[in-house]
Amino acid sequence: MKWRRRHFCPVKITCTIKPSLFRIRMTGLVFLAMIVPLFYFWSHQDRLPGHGGQYKKNLAYIRGFHSPNGETNQSRSTQAEGTAGEAGGEVGGGVMWPWDSMSTKNSLQKEKGVGERLSAQSYRYNLNEPFKCRDSTPFLILLITTEPGQADARNAIRQTWGNESVAMGLGFVRLFLLGTRNSSDTSLQSSIEEESRVYHDIIQQDYQDTYYNLTIKTLMGMNWVATYCPHASYVMKTDGDMFVNTEYLIQKLLKPEVPPKQRYFTGFLMMDYSPIRDKDSKWYMPPEVYPGERYPTFASGTGYVFSGDVAELVYQASLSIPRLFLEDVYVGMCLAKWRIDPVAPPNNDLFNPVKVPYSSCKYSQLITSHWFQPNELIKYWNDLQINKHNACAI
């Protein structure tokens, strides 16, 4: 026995160790060998700065920063200043932005979806609703981006969180923002025009409705608010595949009983994010288009809320800032030019750029959740309405 124990003893381990103690030590070494690589792997995963819990992993998509195949941009845990100075140059006072050089301006024209400076006359309206605010000043305007062919999504929203009844008597305006598809598809355009005649809630201009033109679509909405409804208290910009708890948004976040805020902007904040330099990425940002190392603080384009005065400020800033196709980043750049710092919501779980597993309790206390099909949206909305008064009862 003594020979056997001596024969199997590892080098530099005394053979007088009792068998039980030896097993304990060996188990500890094996455990360390397993846990160290796991800790290293975990510590090098991209996280969402300033946010924890369910968002630290499995982020399939956050506009421009987490791709469906798991690709993520470089992120840091420290908070950004939220100014254009962080992006490479200060704002205001005539200081040049990082992209304000002739060589950059020339190269901008070569990049898809960037480089234009927009004005109110850039695109003509195919469909407009200029009299929505003629008789009253709304408390909330919903700007909802959808594609021309997504009539089912628009109808689902009209029946659920976009229905005027959820505003509880407050002024409420719902607008769907559209571009155009192939000009030869006359039947689609005819059906959109009929939809507009029935519901009077579609704004359409004659740019191509593509992913790379989301910035144009958002600026169209900003300019509409500034032109036709400048005294609205609040505006929310969101997407057609979102669940929005409009009642919670109005009553718990915006609080109509208190005076409206000014220069206010909130949502799911994205702080200290770096441009993606991988040319194979859908969200590749060439250094000559955006040479800064970081973007200003911005909010995920899946859903953000701002005071009515911000619409005019963002649109005015866009007249002097070359367009980027990342709409949410671009809005953050416009805010930075006016030194408007996006404000974190009072609860980190209010705005969700990912899909939150449904329960009436969870959904009664959030504002947005992502990735909803029209039939699914109607199903969960109806369930929430039935259970909202005792949603979290034990």
Supply 37's token pair.
């690589």
Predicted confidence (pLDDT) per residue in 79-138, tens digit: 333 333 333 333 322 222 343 332 333 333 334 445 455 554 578 999 999 999 999 999
Q: What is the CA radius of gyration of the chain?
A: 26
Torsion of CA 273, 303, 239, 132, to 10 degrees: -130
Confidence (pLDDT) at 393: 75
**What count of other Cβ atoms lies within 10 Å of the Cβ of residue 361?**
15
Contact (CB, 8 A) for 327 and 343: no
Confidence (pLDDT) at 43: 40
Beta-sheet strand order (sheet of 298-307):
125-127, 202-208, 172-180, 140-145, 234-239, 298-307, 265-270
What secondary structure letter does DSSP report for 226? Answer: H
**What count of other Cβ atoms lies within 10 Å of the Cβ of residue 283?**
17
Confidence (pLDDT) at 388: 87
Supply 383's token pair.
């369930």
- What average pLDDT score do residues 200-221 get? 96
Q: How confident is the model at residue 34 (pLDDT cuts 50, 70, 90)?
A: low
Predicted confidence (pLDDT) per residue in 283-328, tens digit: 999 999 999 999 999 999 999 999 999 999 999 999 999 999 999 9
Single pTM value for the model: 0.75
Buried b (16+ CB within 10 A) or exposed e, 112-148: ebbbeebeeeebeebbbbeebbeeeebbbbbbbbbbb
